[in-house]
Structure 1
Amino acid sequence: MSTPLMQAQGLIKLFPVGKTWVPGSGQMLRAVDGVDIAVEQGETLGLVGESGSGKSTLGRCLTRLYDLSGGTLTFEGQDISALSRRQLRPFRRRVQMIFQDPASSLNPRRRVREILAEPLAVHNIRTPRDLPGRLAELMDLVGLPAVYLNRYPHEFSGGQRQRIGIARALAMEPDLIVADEPVSALDVSAQAQIVNLFADLRERLSLTYVFIAHDLGVVRQVSTRVAIMYLGSIVETGATDLVFETPAHPYTEALLSAIPVPAVGPAVRRRRIILQGEIPNAVKPPKGCKFVTRCPIAQERCRADRPALRPLADGRQVACHFPREETP
């Protein structure tokens, strides 16, 4: 088998909770808790979960915007877990991030020309002579006229600002782009345009995506593979159609039951699963399965032993003692 473009093993990210004067004496929130995940060349991996599940934190760990608290992260087989800022410079060019809110991720005091030119200058990618042509090329890639290079971010709509954010990421000619809920702040029509743009750029530039979202409809449209997160851990991963049509983990099944279904002809009804119970405290998660307090099929084993992510016969991986396809 070929080496994954990026692979995380036992990835952990901790944040201190409360105020303490003695390092290491306070409580720690496990925002990312032992995540194992691989991103293959050319795929779009959809990362899904409720708000607070750790999706955005995991995305920032994969791009090394956050230092890791534990585990290993490799890019094309090279361990980048503990590299310094200087050592990460070549990696920064090849892995870029697109943020959720384009209004706050673009410098309001700079024109678009300066925003796009800065990473090229920092990494010395283009000469001053080639710079105007490259900036016009980037604007064309995201469907904006080159004349907009002289405008400020506040002069654009939300969808146009997100296109500029995409252009900034493309400026570095990356292999992998981590998109952190890139359409959640946009209206429906702008969402559709940006999603189509992502698909077009993937084909034209042979890009690989990690697409973070809570909109399951968007994830199904853009992703080739999907990973479901709950309370900092991956609970199920596999081919998108397989996971959406026959979810193995009870949490995945509950999430998918919330997708609106259009009624064509006679009303189409889907059994809506309403989860009961309390969401566990991420500082002190349950001893066993993290989902045990809300799981409709929880048993005594679930309260005692935490399930590991294990493969199923159909190629998926699931962290459950009693996955749906094996439930008696």
Structure 2
Amino acid sequence: MTMTNQAPLLAARGLTRHFTVGKTMRPGSGRLLQAVDAVDLEVFPAEVLGLVGESGSGKSTLGRCLTRLYEITSGELDFDGETITKADGAALKRVRRQMQMIFQDPSASLNPRRKVRDVLGEVLKVHRIREGAAVEDRLRELMDLVGLRREYLDRYPHEFSGGQRQRIGIARALAVEPKMIVADEPVSALDVSVQAQIVNLFSDLRERLNLTYVFIAHDLAVVRQVSTRVAVMYLGSIVEIGETDALYAHPRHPYTRALLSAIPQPHLRQRKERILLSGEIPSPLSPPSGCKFSTRCPHVQPLCRQVRPALQPGAHGVACHFPLE
């Protein structure tokens, strides 16, 4: 949560997504995988909420739930003052015009047999955004927005570099004039030099179009650069959330502190001590009782193994019985 009088653009309450794995024809077979577990989250207009955590923490699944690409097992989801938890058909189509998703691998989400013109034009056609000559004007406008030459509209995806393909993915998301974009690891598959260009493009588009982002990434340095707030996920739950500068300067959850200790800081004369966590992240098929981090936490107490801590409200919330000072 954040201390603000502004109404959230998106609000999740108890958002949960479970999958059944190993299911066979035999009744009662299969095990429950708790990918997202009772998440409470608010995203405010024009902010960039960074979502971080180890692989398998549930970041991408949460992003897909927020955009309703995944059905929600339980909980409630509101967008722009409207409950969209069970929206379908025309109602869901209307919502998806306002909230778009950008994926990690643009090659996998672009049809290799279709020119850029067709990829972007289909979006305009489906949502009836432009007609006739106005379609061509919008296509050129989109190419200008993402920094690509207009003549590239008649090329195929394989003719572009990875960074250029990601720009096409961004243009496709922008085509419907959304209010919010969920970007799922949008720069992790790109070279470092190209990453900086795409990150700068995201920042520029936010200012020009007044966009709201949920920026999912495992690179904590990138998240610090682009985000206004950061939420830290562990095993399907948010364990800490707060303003970016405050969270990076004074992490209150032991897991957050361990994550931040791994960020390279070559500009410092005296390197910070790396905090190494013992063990692996537990399986979401059988999460620990009590605090989910209790099996790896260097400060664990008996209470931690018995009672799951709730995420505290406020500008800097933490889900820990014994938060760090």
Q: Which category of TM-score, normalised to the shorter sequence, fits these structures?
A: over 0.9
Counterpart pick for 2:174 among 161, 167, 170: 170
- Aligned to 1:36, the other structure's residue is in SS state strand
Which residue is equivalent to 2:187? 183
Do 1:6 and 1:75's aligned partners in 2 also have CA atoms closer than 8 Å?
yes
Counterpart pick for 1:286 among 261, 285, 288: 288
Which residue is equivalent to 1:155? 159
Report the Cα offset of residue 281 of structure 1.
2.0
Separation (CA, whole Å) in 1 of partners of 2:123 and 2:267: 48
Gaps of 5+ in 2: none
Separation (CA, whole Å) in 2 of partners of 1:34 and 1:176: 22
Supply the AA of the counterpart residue of 1:226. Answer: V
Supply the AA of the counterpart residue of 2:293. Answer: F
1:234 is aligned to 2:233: no
Report the Cα offset of residue 86 of structure 1.
2.7
Supply the AA of the counterpart residue of 2:148. Answer: L
Which residue is equivalent to 1:118? 122
Do 1:262 and 1:268's aligned partners in 2 also have CA atoms closer than 8 Å?
no
Which residue is equivalent to 2:220? 216
Supply the AA of the counterpart residue of 1:308. Answer: A
- Paired residues for 1:298-313 under 5 Å: 298-311=300-313
1:15 is aligned to 2:19: yes
Do 2:34 and 2:284's aligned partners in 1 also have CA atoms closer than 8 Å?
yes
Separation (CA, whole Å) in 1 of partners of 2:27 and 2:256: 38
Report the Cα offset of residue 26 of structure 1.
2.4
Structure-2 change in CA distance of 1:84 and 1:24 (3 Å)? farther
Do 2:22 and 2:29's aligned partners in 1 also have CA atoms closer than 8 Å?
no
Structure-2 change in CA distance of 1:261 and 1:27 (3 Å)? same
Separation (CA, whole Å) in 1 of partners of 2:146 and 2:317: 35
Counterpart pick for 2:259 among 233, 255, 278: 255
Separation (CA, whole Å) in 1 of partners of 2:273 and 2:202: 32
Structure-2 change in CA distance of 1:54 and 1:23 (3 Å)? farther
Which residue is equivalent to 1:87? 91
Gaps of 5+ in 1: none
Which residue is equivalent to 1:193? 197
Structure-2 change in CA distance of 1:139 and 1:216 (3 Å)? same
Q: Percent identical across equivalent pairs?
A: 66
Aligned-residue CA RMSD (Å): 1.1
Which residue is equivalent to 2:137? 133
Supply the AA of the counterpart residue of 2:300. Answer: A
Deviations 1:9-57 (A, max 9, x none): 1000111111232566421100000111000001000000000100000
- Aligned to 1:204, the other structure's residue is in SS state helix
Supply the AA of the counterpart residue of 1:199. Answer: S
Q: Which deviates the most, 84-93 or 43-52?
A: 84-93
Report the Cα offset of residue 311 of structure 1.
2.9
- Aligned to 1:57, the other structure's residue is in SS state helix
Separation (CA, whole Å) in 2 of partners of 1:75 and 1:213: 23
Q: How many residues align?
A: 321
Q: Which deviates the most, 205-214 or 87-96?
A: 87-96
Separation (CA, whole Å) in 1 of partners of 2:22 and 2:119: 37
Structure-2 change in CA distance of 1:197 and 1:280 (3 Å)? same
Separation (CA, whole Å) in 2 of partners of 1:196 and 1:217: 14
Report the Cα offset of residue 92 of structure 1.
1.0
Separation (CA, whole Å) in 2 of partners of 1:300 and 1:2: 40
Q: Which deviates the most, 174-183 or 277-286?
A: 277-286
Deviations 1:286-308 (A, max 9, x none): 11000000000000000000000
Q: Which deviates the most, 284-293 or 77-86?
A: 77-86
Deviations 1:225-258 (A, max 9, x none): 0000000000000000000000000000000000
- Paired residues for 1:32-71 under 5 Å: 32-71=36-75
Separation (CA, whole Å) in 2 of partners of 1:79 and 1:23: 34
The ranges of structure 1 where at least 4 consecutive aligned residues each deviate by more than 6 angstroms after the TM superposition are: none
- Aligned to 2:91, the other structure's residue is in SS state coil
- Aligned to 1:201, the other structure's residue is in SS state helix
Which residue is equivalent to 2:321? 321
Do 2:23 and 2:31's aligned partners in 1 also have CA atoms closer than 8 Å?
no
Separation (CA, whole Å) in 2 of partners of 1:94 and 1:71: 21
Separation (CA, whole Å) in 2 of partners of 1:254 and 1:244: 11
TM-score under structure 2 length normalisation: 0.97
Supply the AA of the counterpart residue of 2:294. Answer: V
Q: Which deviates the most, 87-96 or 275-284?
A: 275-284
Which residue is equivalent to 2:78? 74
Do 1:261 and 1:268's aligned partners in 2 also have CA atoms closer than 8 Å?
no
